[in-house]
Structure 1
Amino acid sequence: MVMLLFIYASAATLLLGGLIVRQRHLLGQIRKITHTLSRIRTANDHQRLRVQSSMQLLHHLADELNQFLEHHKQLGERSLFLEEERNQMLMHLSHDLRTPLTSLLGYVEVIQRKAASLSPKDTHSYLNVIHAKAMKLITQINDFFYFAKLDSTQSPLDLASFDIVAVVQEVLLSLHQPIELSQIEPVLNLPGHPVFVYGNALGTERILLNLMTNAYRYGAEGGLLGVEIRESAHEVVVEVWDRGKGIAPSDLPYIFNRFYTGQRSRGHHVQGNGLGLTIAKRLAEKQHGSLTATSIPYEKTSFRLTLPAHP
């Protein structure tokens, strides 16, 4: 009986000892995890948690915490990126508004100083310049506000079926006079029947207006402005092209970036306030489509808008 009690007591002692050792190991690993988390928090370190244990629970805990740390790191990087973009936007906004405002003020001051000596013709000429610059300024301001609205995740586009051929024809008609004045010849390859896509008609009109305006403004020396519609079972492509000076190879990867204006002596399609193509691409994406570009100077500079075909 005494021997049996001794055996039970020894077994209990060993079991208790094992539990104490296991508890100490567990506490040691938890302290190590806590220390590592504290160091990451205070030093903004990107170190990850590692445990040396056969306990699956500790490994699972470390994995979950590492995923949380990675997510937190990505959020921090995204926050820094957005802050930098916001600062860039304010800088560009300040520059793009200050320049035309300064020019407007200059013309107004000329009229004020020389009001008595200016002929009606000169006064009219100055007023025309002021009006043109004021309209450009309004366009820039509207672009900034429209882009801010478009960039918000809370402003989805209303999507519906519409005839893309009719939209292309309407845009061409609205640009008939400036295209004619630029002495550029339209080359059209449009289907003789309606082609329905699923998207936003007004958004698509704005995209095409931007692309065709760029083509006749900056590609006029090539003499041609092409518009083509290609349809397949699942998508429709509208291609706008010209044979002008084109886009510099160094600019091409960045032309859809906000505020990117490129090397103005060569990348003519990216002149302006740097928002036109950015807005166009964002509009395409909000319609579950895409907008891409290729350019071979004086041969073919092409923008392709792809939209889902209406089922």
Structure 2
Amino acid sequence: MMKILRHLSPGRKKIAWWNLMVALFIIVPIVVALIVWLQRLIFREAKFKARLEATYAENIKISTALEQSYEQLSSLDKLRKEMIANISHDLRTPLTNLMGYIETLFLRRFDITLPEREKYLSIAIQESQRLRKLIDDLFELSKLEANQVEINAEPFPITELLQDVFAKYSVICAEKKIKINTNIIGKEPWVVADLKLIDRVLQNLLDNAIRYNLSENGKIDLSLQQVGTQLFIQISNSSKTIPPSVLPHLFDRYFKVSSDEGSTGLGLAIVKKL
């Protein structure tokens, strides 16, 4: 371009320079605008790509969470069905036994001996008590889950309550040859709590300790210790060791350690709610 301008006349050179300047003023802004537009386009594309990747990652998280929720719901539904089956079985068994002994008493009312009558009536009473306890557990658990339990706190000596609870189970422990050992550290503590609810917690824990005390001539150890304003009560038995993976689920409503257990697990579920 410069060589061409040198061979032009002065008038034409002037016109050529103006044309060159005009061309530069037109082309340069266009080129700059194109560069800016391309940079913005690249930036928007990168931003869109980042959003797309973030959305994809979020969708993956949501999908994973939904899958986990579905698995949990499926597992919960399976456990619920198993519990309904167990409860139905536990309701049916004492009811069937109760009806059987009552029918026997009615059919043999004229020739049954007094010892037999007393035996049948004793078994019928035991089965009715068993049935009532299961119904009470179901009713109490439903009230706890609905937050319909009123707490009436009052001061009382916890050791006296423990002695009363153990006295209730002394006969059954003697029958099963289970020895109860107590270890109370420190002075006799008083607590402010709902006496009936604490009594229920202790009974349910003791029920569980007796039911799963699998060894012959077993034992149940109870320790009571006060540390500052806190009171620690520990009840343990001589049963076989529970796998560590099972421990976090012991107080779950639908969970059972083994499928062949007759218990519905309502006692520990109530303890957890209380």
1:86 pairs with one of 71, 77, 80: 80
Change (3 A) 1:128 1:166: closer
Q: Which piece of structure 1 moves more, 215-224 or 187-196?
A: 215-224
2:266 pairs with one of 261, 275, 281: 275
Change (3 A) 1:9 1:230: same
Cross-structure match for 1:212: 206
2:233 pairs with one of 238, 245, 257: 238
Unaligned runs of 5+ in 2: 1-21
Indicate the SS of the match to 2:187: coil
Report % sequence identity.
21
Q: CA RMSD in A?
A: 4.1
**Greater relative contact order, per chain length (Cα 8 Å cut-off, separation 6+):** 2
Q: How many residues align?
A: 247
**Greater per-residue helix proportion:** 2
Cross-structure match for 1:302: none
Q: Is the aligned partner of 1:10 residue 2:31?
A: yes
Change (3 A) 1:166 1:157: farther
Q: TM-score, normalised by structure 2?
A: 0.67
Cross-structure match for 2:65: 71
Change (3 A) 1:12 1:155: farther
After TM superposition, give the deviation of residue 206 of structure 1 in Å. 1.8
Q: Is the aligned partner of 1:247 residue 2:239?
A: yes
**Distance in 2 (alpha carbons) for counterparts of 1:159 and 1:111:** 44
Q: TM-score, normalised by structure 1?
A: 0.60
Contact (CA 8 Å) 1:215, 1:225: kept in 2 or not? yes
Deviations 1:271-295 (A, max 9, x none): 6444334433x14xx5xxxxxxxxx
Indicate the SS of the match to 2:103: helix
After TM superposition, give the deviation of residue 137 of structure 1 in Å. 0.9
1:104 pairs with one of 98, 109, 112: 98
Question: Which amino acid is the alignment partner of residue 84 of structure 1?
Answer: K
**Distance in 2 (alpha carbons) for counterparts of 1:76 and 1:158:** 36
After TM superposition, give the deviation of residue 81 of structure 1 in Å. 2.3
Deviations 1:223-264 (A, max 9, x none): 75543212323643323345xxx3234678648264637598
Indicate the SS of the match to 1:146: helix
Change (3 A) 1:15 1:263: closer
Indicate the SS of the match to 1:118: coil
**Distance in 1 (alpha carbons) for counterparts of 2:233 and 2:186:** 15
Cross-structure match for 2:256: 260
Indicate the SS of the match to 2:111: coil
Cross-structure match for 1:119: 113
Cross-structure match for 2:8: none
